[in-house]
Amino acid sequence: MQISKLPKLSESIFSTMSALANQYDAINLSQGFPNFKTSEKLQQLVTEAMQNGHNQYAPMRGDLELREVIAHKIYKSHQTQYNPLTEITITAGATEALFNAITAFVHQNDEVIIFKPAFDSYEPVVELNGGVPVFIQLNYPDYKINWDEVASKINSKTKMMIVNTPLNPTGTLFTNNDMLALQNLIKNTNIIVLSDEVYEHMTYDGLLHESACKYPTLKEHSFVIASFGKTFHNTGWKIGYTAAPKHLMDEFIKVHEFNVFSINTPYQKAFATYIQDENNYNYLNQFYQDKRNLFLDGIKNSKFTFTPTKGTYFQLLKYDTITQENDVDFAKRLVKEFRIATIPISVFNTNQLDEKVLRFCFAKTDETIKKATEILCQIH
């Protein structure tokens, strides 16, 4: 008898590489988190909320003021309205939101289309629910989507499609044409779109984030998932939210209610105040673009090759001019010999396709970025 529901799953690459980085005292550009501080003001708001007695259960869907503030933020960014009472839920990070949306809708043998390379939270949750992941592999360096191929994978069993823009780990963006193609494919179907938009505030070179909620038909089919951890430099706080039309959210909250019931109260109170000021997030595109540029400038004379990332706080570097080692082995060697930790991309690909590409997180202080690029220039 099979005991495990996820027999193929082993430790995540994020845990492996961060542990190796600690063991070898390496610069950790692997797991995606900033090494600079979250805002003092935000920390102060959390403390005040605790001191003011906001320490008991929050409403199941989240603090209402926070949901109202989020609805307003989405309206300002994308000119579309969600009802804060019924169409927005605060979650324990984007991770909980992904779990809820997949679990609420995917039945045994339902198919879920996933683009590869993909963030590692999607596939196991589909499998836990008895669903069947259907992969579409995209390729370095453009990771361009062939929408005819996507159309060919859709059939009567297709329940859901998971999209991620800006895309982790590739650093690519869905364009306006991609969104229109997606909308065209799912109109007149019951397919649900899980739109993972946790890097919404990290797009570069004047390119814009295309949210699923901007496209009216797409919006009707979509969960839009966001992460405060990613946006506000506090991944350890594990807060995010999901917006979706009522008919989808009604099912989502049935899982949320029995998964966590509600999210920690004082942090929600703090975000409700903090997010009201656009200046607390409008600077992010430029802020991270400067970091990306510092990183790319630092490695321009190295042997790595690259296409500048368009979004997320990750940069991919190809190393086939340095070695033909497989990417997992090379990543491990970089930690041990050069004291720099990265993420090998093959772990996110179908059949561990190895295109000799590593992912580097540049959400780091300028000092760390400079030290890291000096090391990268020494690798021949």
Tokens of 65: 């003021």
Kindly state the smallest distance separating residue 211's Cβ from ligand GLN, in Å.
19
> Applying CB under 6 A, which part among 56-64, 205-213, 226-234, 369-377 lies near ligand PMP?
226-234
Please pick, from the candidates 131, 133, 240, 298, the single residue that binds ligand PMP as defined by CB under 6 A: 240
How many helices and strands (H and E) does the chain possess? 14, 12
176 half-sphere exposure, CB direction, 13 A CA radius: 2
Phi first, then psi: what are they for 169, rounded to 5°?
-100, 5
CA distance 175 to 179: 6
User: Is the bond preceding residue 124 a cis peptide, omega within 30 degrees?
Assistant: no
The footprint of ligand GLN on residues 156-175 (CB under 6 A) is 168
62 or 117: CB nearest ligand GLN: 117
Task: Find the residue with minimal CB distance to ligand PMP.
Answer: 93
Kindly state the smallest distance separating residue 180's Cβ from ligand GLN, in Å.
28
Q: x/- binding map, residues 40-79, to ligand PMP, per CB under 6 A? A: ----------------------------------------
34 lies in the binding site for ligand PMP (CB under 6 A): no
**First and final C-alpha spacing in the chain:** 50
Q: x/- binding map, residues 26-55, to ligand GLN, per CB under 6 A? A: -----xx-----------------------
> Could you tell which of ligand GLN, ligand PMP, none binds residue 93, using a CB distance below 5 to 8 A set by kind?
ligand PMP
Tell me the chain's radius of gyration from C-alpha atoms: 20
Q: Is the dihedral of CA 364, 370, 375, 380 positive or negative?
A: positive
> Could you tell which of ligand PMP, ligand GLN, none binds residue 231, using a CB distance below 5 to 8 A set by kind?
none
Q: Which helix (H) or strand (E) holds 49?
A: helix 40-51
95 or 265: CB nearest ligand PMP: 95
344 lies in the binding site for ligand GLN (CB under 6 A): no
Closest by alpha carbon to 147, among 177, 118, 120, 125?
Answer: 177
182 or 361: CB nearest ligand PMP: 361
CA distance 311 to 201: 8
Q: Which helix (H) or strand (E) holds 186?
A: helix 176-186
* Residues near ligand GLN (CB under 6 A): 14, 31-32, 168
